[in-house]
Structure 1
């Protein structure tokens, strides 16, 4: 039997201070960051630079995520969304009929850690099917920031809570974990699946482990938290390329159709939870090559994760 972490993540969430997004567009002479509205497109606030993307600087200040185009605050990173983002396509009737507690909740902040082993593999986890948002979806370890945390603290805490991997900055090359990219995330992912209930800016972090911390070594420390994560695996560069090539935008243009034959009878070695027991075994590759389709919840790699993995691949070139 795998026991939950000492202090349940879900219990803490009930009492947690939410880290909300605040926006500042200095090109529009905005002197101070202002609280973002739930129905507001963060990317549109700054203007796109093409392909549903913009560049911003993001940092934490007084338990707020500040998203700005003031480059004196740091180096810009890409912020992206899918073309089918519900907030972008929100019509007035749907917006007006959203519950007051949804419209008034603001935009939350999440973190996700692209963790690279010393042998060049990245760890992805499958969210438990019992979770309220994005069940069965493959993502890096991650979750919400907590009060007074840094990005790094939050990323390492979430990694421990979900996978049992106890890491500190000292485990990483040059003790460096950096912001890789940002993603504007909305759930459900399309208006055809229902009105938006959650709106986040996800801060993707990246860090590479020091020599000696290869995937095989790290697997010995894995202890998945079943209420959060029911599978995980390490993916090499070639597998990551195949995952990112499952193109969400093309699928949306063609009625969400994708080649279901991809990955059939192929497997990746990983760990799964079966009847509260953690087992090592083969995980079918096919679902990881799927795209966000017409179903609300189905197994796939999240669109935001694919974007972050593309940025990881580009950084390796």
Structure 2
């Protein structure tokens, strides 16, 4: 796209399928959820009557990579679609026409990037979360599964395997993978924290591994330039993170054992982190805090449904 930001690699962008052959690049300031809902309106030639608040902020889609373009198509769950969701405070849903006109050209011309994320499931049903390093430009000190961008010429799984290996040292080649859900991510995540700078479609894949979490933890070689913490979350904590408060908090330890990079000793150490950090909601104003990302909460909710 003309005017796009120069990067070290060719970015993979989102295109919206409109019919069998028409594929339109999604503008940076366009809300993916709204576009999908608008497609329904066009196809059915009538307005949608949303039955619930949840229905407004979700839809089912299929995603495919074709000639380094991520093709997003409206679908149905029974036809293999996965849920696409965004938070009700999504900046691209809330931004005004004036706000869009004020975006710098190098931002407004970016398009919507694609990210792939691996929800690594151990043989004893734990999933890996990593804490993004504090110096990261987007979502610093936020707990997420390992993942990142797709490079030109890669398949979605190749990108997953590379990102997981780069961040954790784990090899997932030949693993059982399943597209779990999709998330529309914008940074900053609310307009009260500033103009949008990044807009992503994040694809969450479930990767089932054959080893226990303790075996996998011993094999990990975490990259301190990208992550500064890691832990394996069990289903009780995952339920709480996902917002299922029917599970008593007494069913989990008050502290979570994590691997953390210690700058003083320049080494990885085992330490304890209060589980309250994992249950903290994203603030709507002021500086961000250490927490689990909203998209990760959604992905854990979808994982638990399985």
TM-score, length-normalised on structure 2?
Answer: 0.86
Q: Is the 8 A contact 1:246 1:290 kept in 2?
A: no
* Offset of residue 295 of structure 1: 3.2
The equivalences for 1:148-167 within 5 A come to 148-167=153-172
Match of 1:108 in 2: 113
Query: What does residue 256 of structure 1 align with?
Result: none
Residue matched to 1:207: 207
In structure 2, relative to structure 1, the CA distance for the partners of 1:262 and 1:185 (3 Å cut) is farther
Aligned to 1:18, which of 11, 22, 41? 11
Q: Deviation per CA, 1:137-193, whole angstroms, max 9, x where unpaired?
A: 000001111111112111121111111112212xx3xxx201110000000000000
Give the Cα–Cα distance (whole angstroms) in 1 for the partners of residues 34 and 227 of structure 2: 33
Closer, same or farther: CA 137–246 of 1 in aligned 2, 3 Å: farther
> 1:72-111 to 2 correspondence within 5 Å?
75-111=80-116
Shift of 1:220: 0.9
Of 222, 230, 233, 2:231 maps to 233
Could you tell me whether the CA contact under 8 Å between 2:146 and 2:167 is conserved in 1?
yes
How far apart, in 1, do the equivalents of 2:286 and 2:206 lie?
30
Relative distance call for 1:246 and 1:289 in structure 2 (3 A) is farther
Is the Cα–Cα contact under 8 Å of residues 18 and 24 in structure 2 kept in the other structure? no
Counterparts of 2:7 and 2:100, CA distance in 1: 26
Partner of 2:44: none
Q: Which runs of 4+ in 1 moved over 4 A?
A: none
Residue 271 (structure 1) aligned with residue 276 (structure 2): no
**8 Å contact 1:188–1:296 — kept in the other structure?**
no
SS of 1:88 mapped into structure 2? helix
Gaps of 5+ in 2: 1-5, 38-47
Q: How does 1:234-313 map to 2 (within 5 A)?
A: 234-245=232-243, 266-275=254-263, 276-293=266-283, 294-313=285-304
5+ residue gaps, structure 1, are: 1-12, 248-260
Using structure 1 for the length normalisation, give the TM-score. 0.83
Distance in 1 (CA, whole Å) between partners of 2:250 and 2:243 is 11
What is the DSSP-based 3-state SS (H/G/I as helix, E as strand, rest coil) of the residue aligned with 2:223?
coil
Answer yes or no: is the 8 Å Cα contact 1:246–1:291 preserved in 2.
no
Alignment of 1:155-194 (within 5 A): 155-169=160-174, 172=175, 176-194=176-194
Change in 2 beyond 3 A, CA 1:193/1:238: same
Counterpart Cα distance in 1 of 2:148 and 2:274: 25
